[in-house]
């Protein structure tokens, strides 16, 4: 008789096993990178790398992950119609290059102020920032093609190689006795860039010539998605950025980073489960099945609540010991600090799912509205009279909670569209990306 685990695995779409495995490796790489930096770098250097890590996650996920999502959608639709996808790859490549050129130009113009205010005067970390954006943009571009083409094995390998390379490079630096912040900052760009090169061939091999692609086909929802994604990443990475702007205590900056990352373990776990949960939600929305949609959304929220409690309680009780022992974090935070991070994580996961529910119904503007309100609340709380740590923690919690509350009100109001005729529907595995944005927050 098959075990419960074996039965559950039969319901996972083909290729998802490697995606989940790759996600686990990539998530573990984040913790190992931070732990290695905590032991190898001085107090000021690790604080600067913490700021770099938060900025890279905010901009790269905010701007380039929507490219991956829309690229996946468009490529999958063309595959179903039997059309070649090479024109899509060309358009997406040009778009990525233009965005990178604008970002790198802005970094060059603002290099010295950025270095002085965020990177302890280390100009090299500004260039590491640019290199990381290039690597992340390239790997998201290729992953969008792989997912749209249904090459989920290669997609999973891309995730796993990215994480493995970051782990190997970070450990290699510390074993070689390297103690410069720039070297550890460059790992953020080297890992994804090498992973992209190692998995590029399958995407190119399947990219056949096809009918021309108008820009509107790719950009239809991308601006709204990018706005929501940037704000979502700003909220999740705000504690470290707020500390960096409000307080010059480098020990506090690194402590806030490690506490936040530890308390986001449930977010990482949920990300590996999200493909199957979100595929059902999107399929119900496409079919106009309101009762099914509501049941799936309630079940997803129940999973979030369980993960939040399972991860939050140990984080509050053992967080100080865990971050100090494994990440060499300074012991400057208390259990209450970890509570606010854990509670904010649960609210943030709810906000992500509710936002995806609106996106599944084609209501991207409402999703952006929710994140805009949450970001405004976060900024407002960051200015209340209190210590820098309190403002950072409460801003994270209040911003995430406000976003979830607004999105909950919005998701209850819309009526799902009428189901499309069967001939126009795409198979769920082709119409929706194999994964969504949650697990990338790490």
Among 192, 220, 248, identify where a domain stops.
220
391-432 pLDDT, tens digit per residue, is: 989 999 999 999 999 999 998 775 444 444 444 444 444 444
Q: Are residues 352 and 373 both part of a single domain?
A: yes
Query: Residue 11 — pLDDT band, cuts 50, 70, 90?
Result: very low
Kindly tell me if the per-residue pLDDT of 109 is higher than 90. Answer: yes
Q: Does residue 2 lie within any of the structural domains?
A: no
Among 163, 196, 220, identify where a domain stops.
220
Q: Does residue 405 lie within any of the structural domains?
A: yes
Q: Are residues 33 and 181 both part of a single domain?
A: yes
Q: Which of 191, 147, 148, 145 is nearest to 169 (CA)?
A: 191
Q: Are residues 338 and 427 both part of a single domain?
A: yes
Q: Does residue 383 lie within any of the structural domains?
A: yes
Kindly tell me if the per-residue pLDDT of 186 is higher than 80. Answer: yes
DSSP codes of every residue in 179-208: --HHHHHHHHHHHHHHHHHHHHHHHHHT--
Domain count, the chain: 2
Kindly tell me if the per-residue pLDDT of 157 is higher than 60. Answer: yes
233-250 pLDDT, tens digit per residue, is: 888 888 888 887 776 677
Q: Are residues 200 and 160 both part of a single domain?
A: yes
Q: Are residues 212 and 226 both part of a single domain?
A: no
DSSP codes of every residue in 162-181: HHHHHHHHHHHHHHTT---H
* Cβ-based neighbours of 78, under 8 Å, separated by 6 or more: 84, 85, 88, 148, 210
Q: Does residue 7 lie within any of the structural domains?
A: no
Q: Are residues 216 and 336 both part of a single domain?
A: no
Q: Are residues 282 and 376 both part of a single domain?
A: yes
Q: Does residue 164 lie within any of the structural domains?
A: yes
Q: Are residues 281 and 368 both part of a single domain?
A: yes
Q: Whole domain around residue 255: which residue ranges?
A: 221-442
Q: Does residue 1 lie within any of the structural domains?
A: no
Query: Residue 337 — pLDDT band, cuts 50, 70, 90?
Result: very high
């Amino acid at each position: 008789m098959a075990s419960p685990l074996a039965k559950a695995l039969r319901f996972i779409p083909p290729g998802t096993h490697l995606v989940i495995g790759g996600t686990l490796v990539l998530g573990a790489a984040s913790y190992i990178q931070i732990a290695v930096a905590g032991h190898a770098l001085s107090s000021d250097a690790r604080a600067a790398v913490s700021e770099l890590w938060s900025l890279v996650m905010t901009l790269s996920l905010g701007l380039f992950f929507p490219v991956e999502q829309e690229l996946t959608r468009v490529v999958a639709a063309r595959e179903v119609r039997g059309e070649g996808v090479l024109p899509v790859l060309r358009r997406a490549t040009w778009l990525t290059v233009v965005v990178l050129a604008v970002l790198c130009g802005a970094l060059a113009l603002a290099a010295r102020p950025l270095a002085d205010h965020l990177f302890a005067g280390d100009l090299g970390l500004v260039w590491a920032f640019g290199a990381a954006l290039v690597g992340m943009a390239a790997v998201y571009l290729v992953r969008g093609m792989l997912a749209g083409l249904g090459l989920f094995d290669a997609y999973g390998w891309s995730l796993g190689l990215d994480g493995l390379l970051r782990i190997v490079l970070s450990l290699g630096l510390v074993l070689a006795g390297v103690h410069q912040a720039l070297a550890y900052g460059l790992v953020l760009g080297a890992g994804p860039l090498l992973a992209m090169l190692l998995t590029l061939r399958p995407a190119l091999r399947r990219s056949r010539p096809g009918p021309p692609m108008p820009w509107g086909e790719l950009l239809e929802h991308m601006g709204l998605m990018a706005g929501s994604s940037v704000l979502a990443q700003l909220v999740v990475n705000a504690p470290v950025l707020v500390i960096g702007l409000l307080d010059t205590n480098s020990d506090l900056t690194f402590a806030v980073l490690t506490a936040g990352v530890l308390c986001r373990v449930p977010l990482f776990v949920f990300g590996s489960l999200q493909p199957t949960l979100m595929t059902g939600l999107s399929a119900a929305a496409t079919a106009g099945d309101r009762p099914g949609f509501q049941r799936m959304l309630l079940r997803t929220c129940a999973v979030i609540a369980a993960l939040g409690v399972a991860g939050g309680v140990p984080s509050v009780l053992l967080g100080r010991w865990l971050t100090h022992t494994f990440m060499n974090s300074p012991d400057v935070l208390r259990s209450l600090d970890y509570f606010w991070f854990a509670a904010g994580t649960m609210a943030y996961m709810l906000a992500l799912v509710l936002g995806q529910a609106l996106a599944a119904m084609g209501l991207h503007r409402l999703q952006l509205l929710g994140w805009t309100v949450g970001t405004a609340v976060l900024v407002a709380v960051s200015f209340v009279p209190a210590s820098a740590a309190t403002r950072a923690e409460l801003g994270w919690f209040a911003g995430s909670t406000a976003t979830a509350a607004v999105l909950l009100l919005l998701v209850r109001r819309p009526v799902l569209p009428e189901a499309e005729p069967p001939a126009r529907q795409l198979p769920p595995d082709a119409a929706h990306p194999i994964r969504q944005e949650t697990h990338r927050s790490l």
